[in-house]
Amino acid sequence: MSQSKNITPLAWALLALLGLIWGGSFLSIRIALDEVGFLTSVAHRTGWAMCLLWGYVWLRGLSFPKEPRVWIGFLGMGLLNNAIPFSLMAWGQLSIESGLTSILNAATAIFGVLLAALFFADEHLSARKLIGVLIGFAGVATAIGLEHLLAFDIRSLAQLAVIGGTVSYAFAGIWARKWLGGLAPEVAAAGMLTGSTLIMLPAAWILEGPITLALEPITWLAIGYYVLIATALAYLLYYRILALAGSGNLMLVTLLVPPVAIVLGSVVLGEALHPRAYFGFGLLAIGLVILDGRAVDALQAGK
């Protein structure tokens, strides 16, 4: 059996950067939603980013994929990584607290590791990896507030919808490796966003009406952030990490996003940062150290 993929220092750096970017996207999306509907916001995000990335692909002289199999991969990735989870989580958040939603979303890392172990021989589930993920997840839950977990009700369709979104994200990592492996990150990201846009644009148009460009400057600034930074750049990082660390390790970024969102909420919006957040961050750091494995290996070698 092949050995599990290791997380290199470069992969950790890219994971941290991606977590910072996606953690900051909550603020920009919140601002945009004051003027546009959620589906319209998603259509802006995927549509403009798609145009930017195909332009980048053209400038770099990369080949345009023509194989039907690749385009099936793009459409499936757009469905699994954007259309399904965005829709399920948006609906779920109408009925449950955002803290519980964030905790459930962080479970993507667990589903990602478990599913990767089922589908790929080189991402088998080791005891160290499982322990690291669980400790990291406990850190995220602690930082947000363990009381949110007490509100979990398996009978709640809203909560099941959010869990369904996290499972979809996890399957997206599997799908990307299986169908889009070997593609340049720029091409894979642009193709995925094309698949997303083909789904989200008509959905937004039908359910929320024609998309208008007559928006307030602050709304365009928010859209600009999550199009340029949180989507176009972020998905280039996403596919780079996928190639470096594998689909299971890629999902670990969901452990980094909630703490970033908490810190930015405290700094930008003046929200008080509860002392439990610092303890949660400590647990998260321990989980990441265990997942990385080098410190553990060094301790064992020193015995």
Which structure tokens are listed for 25?
A: 């996207």
Q: What average pLDDT does range 66-95 have in this prediction?
A: 86
Q: What is the pLDDT of residues 4-21, one digit of tens each?
A: 467 788 988 999 999 899
Buried b (16+ CB within 10 A) or exposed e, 88-97: bbbebbeebe
Amino acid at 198: L
The pLDDT value given to residue 98: 64
The residue ranges of every structural domain in the chain are 9-302
Higher pLDDT among residues 135 and 4, named by residue: 135
The pLDDT value given to residue 97: 65
Average model confidence (pLDDT) for the chain? 83
| Residues contacting 98, CB < 8 A, separation 6+ | none
Answer whether residue 2 shows pLDDT above 60: no
The pLDDT value given to residue 260: 82
**Which of 130, 228, 122, 133 minimizes the C-alpha distance to 181?**
122
Q: How far apart are CA 224 and CA 220, in angstroms?
A: 6
Judged by average pLDDT, the poorest of 50-59, 97-106, 170-179 is: 97-106
Where are the alpha helices (H) located in 145-216, listed in sequence order?
157-180, 185-208
Helix (H, G, I), strand (E, B) or coil at 107: coil
Q: Are 217 and 34 in contact (CB under 8 A)?
A: no
CA-to-CA dists, residue 283 to 23, 44, 94, 246, angstroms: 18, 36, 30, 24
Q: What average pLDDT does range 234-246 have in this prediction?
A: 84
Q: How far apart are CA 249 and CA 133, in angstroms?
A: 10
Answer whether residue 269 shows pLDDT above 70: no
Which structure tokens are listed for 187?
A: 């091409």
Q: How far apart are CA 140 and CA 302, in angstroms?
A: 31
The pLDDT value given to residue 289: 79
Helix (H, G, I), strand (E, B) or coil at 271: coil
Q: What average pLDDT does range 79-101 have in this prediction?
A: 77
The pLDDT value given to residue 295: 67
CA-to-CA dists, residue 55 to 52, 58, 144, 232, 237, angstroms: 5, 5, 39, 11, 17
How many residues are present in the chain? 303
Answer whether residue 80 shows pLDDT above 70: yes
Q: What average pLDDT does range 25-35 have in this prediction?
A: 82
Q: What is the pLDDT of residues 175-222, one digit of tens each?
A: 888 888 778 888 988 999 999 999 999 999 999 999 989 999 999 999
- Name the pLDDT band for 264 (thresholds 50, 70, 90): confident
The pLDDT value given to residue 302: 67
Q: Are 223 and 32 in contact (CB under 8 A)?
A: yes
- Most confident segment among 49-58, 139-148, 241-250, 269-278: 49-58
Percent of the chain with pLDDT over 90: 24
Q: Are 252 and 114 in contact (CB under 8 A)?
A: no
What is the maximal distance between C-alpha atoms in the chain? 66
Q: How many CA atoms lie within 13 A of 74 on its CB side?
A: 26
**Which of 162, 155, 174, 180 minimizes the C-alpha distance to 65?**
180
Q: What average pLDDT does range 250-261 have in this prediction?
A: 79
Q: What average pLDDT does range 224-233 have in this prediction?
A: 91
Q: How far apart are CA 99 and CA 212, in angstroms?
A: 32
- Write the DSSP symbol of residue 146: G
Higher pLDDT among residues 211 and 101, named by residue: 211
Higher pLDDT among residues 109 and 5, named by residue: 109
